[in-house]
Structure formats: C-alpha cells, structure tokens
Amino acid sequence: MDDSDWNHEFAEVNGIEMHYVRHGDGSPLLLLHGWPEFWYAFRKNIPALAEEFEVVAPDLRGFGDTENPDLSAEDGYTVADHVADVHGLVDELGFDEVGIVTHDAGSYVAQEFARTHPDRLAGLFFFNCLYPGIGRRAGRGEHVQEVWYQTFNSLPWAADLVGSSRKACRLDLDHFLSHWASDPTTFDDDLDVWVDTYMHSNNLQAGFYWYNVTAADRLELLQTGAPELQKIETPTRVMWGQDDPIHRVEFSDRLDEYFADCQYSSVPDTGHYVHYERPELTNEQVAAFFSEQF
C-alpha cells in the first residue's frame, strides 16, 4: 500500500491522543509493536489480515504519532500507563473482545493486559516473546554484549546523543534493524521512514523511557531469576525466529510455565522481526489461529 492508502485515525484515551491505523472488518485484532518500532512495522501484515479481521495498529505512547506527554518516565510512561492506553483504546473503539498480535516491548504490555483484563482477550499471538521465563539468561555469558543498549537507552543524555544529527540517528537505528534481522538488508527500503519517525518531536526520548521504567524488572530478573507467576489462561500462539540474537530461540523453553494454553513453533532463517521478515507465513499463521479463537 502507498502512504496515501493507510487509514490514519486518532482517539483520546487515558489522557493522551493515540494514533492508530485501522483497516478491515470482522473480529478485531490489535497489533502492538516493540522497540525500535511503531505501527509501520506491521505494514506487510495489515492489508492481508484486514481481509478477514478488523485490524488496528496503534503507536504506543512514546512512539510514532501518538502524543508524548510532557512527563517523566515514572510519571507517564510506565507499563501500567501503556496497559491503560490499550484498555482505553479497546473501550473507545467499542470492542468487547480483541486478539492481540505483538512482540518485544509490546509483548510485555500484552502480558500485563492479559493478567489485568483477561475478559477482553480472545487470544494472544507473540513473536519472540519477552516473558519472565527468560530470567537470568538475559545477562549471562555472551548475551551480555547484546543487551548493552538497555542501559545506554536509560542514560539521561542518550536521546540527545542519538538525536544530535540525522546521521547519528540513522546509524543507531540501522544497527538494531540490521543486526537483529536474519538478513541485515531486510529494512534497507524502510530505514529512512524509521529515521523520519524517530527524529520527529520527542520520539527518541519518549521511546527510551521504556528502558527507564522497566530497569527495575530487568535487574530483578538478573538477580533472582525467573519468578513463579500464575499462568496466563488466554489461548496463546508463539512464533520464534531462530536467528534472533537478542531474544534467543533457546529462551522459549519455559513458555509452558507462564502460559496455560500455548502453541509454539520456531522459524528458521528468521531473526527478531518475524512479522516483517516472514510476512506471508506470519499472516497465514495469525489468521489461522484467530479464526479458531473468535
């Protein structure tokens, strides 16, 4: 689809103006992006899924064209704020029940949504799921060199440095988009769209706030390991790219301890961005899963 073909809409939810793209009819699917992404990360999925579902792809607060409130990380960008935004959007759009498709930071938000609003969910579909069972492994051995950015993004001057020029921002985003994908050229055609979005307004700093508000949770996992939690009962499907260097495929081994009804498969020759790297397979699997849930 060309840029002019996307249906851009806004809704006032939870004290902010939330941007989303909306297409199709049928049972509603909410597509929640991760970092460093925004709604456009699902550009290869929205048209195909909209043939069977009503698809809504929002920008989470701190990303894309959603309002970035002039608040500190702790006062306006917590996981609870993100969950409240998603809940508010579901209410505003009049959906009694939705399916959520997500990964990375969005998967963190989706799991908390599932624990606090299970009655509003028909199903969960994750790519390379960021879940508590990863535990201490996120900071062990050779994986330490992969998570440096989480501390860097929390530094008070990080956004100023990355945003000091378009070249600096492009270098930063290109690293994560190319290094985390199985094929480093995957995002070449869209890299400038990413740079335009993250150089806009306060998006770099607001997006980096995610790492400020989740720092305590990451530290607790490293110190105490995977916690014991009540399993999420919502039917769940997980696809995991085998070449992801940040959410490694072996981290999937404890999914059954956190999800009561979980279907899992790994995807060869695919990295962190399964939905973007393997859109045809993704669209087929998402449609098949949710056709059984609604």
Q: Which domains occur in the chain, in start order?
A: 8-293 (3.40.50.1820)
First to last CA, the chain: 27
Which one from 23, 33, 272, 275 is the annotated catalytic residue? Answer: 272
Nearest-angstrom CA–CA distance, 24 and 178: 31
Q: Does 211 participate in catalysis according to the annotation?
A: yes
**pLDDT for the residue 187:** 98
Angle among Cα 127, 128, 130 to the nearest 5 degrees reads 110
Contact 277, 271 (CB under 8 A): yes
Structure token digits, residue 106? 């969005």
Query: Distance between CA atoms of 99 and 122, rounded to whole angstroms?
Result: 5
Q: What is the pTM (predicted TM-score) of this model? A: 0.97
The dihedral through the CA atoms of 86, 244, 274, 177 has a sign that is positive
Q: Of 59, 81, 85, 104, which residue is the catalytic one?
A: 104
pLDDT of residue 113: 98
**pLDDT on residue 201:** 85
| Two tokens, residue 95 | 């959906």
The type of residue at 160 is: D
Q: Supply 200's token pair.
A: 């806009």
State residue 139's pLDDT score: 82
Q: How far apart (Å, rounded) are the C-alpha atoms in residues 123 and 54?
A: 15
Told to judge if 104 belongs to the known catalytic residues of this protein, a careful annotator would answer yes
Q: For residue 259, what is the DSSP state? A: B
Backbone conformation region of residue 86, classed left if phi is above 0, alpha if psi is from -120 to 50, else beta: alpha
Of the candidates 20, 40, 211, 276, the residue annotated as catalytic is 211
Intervals of the chain under pLDDT 50: none
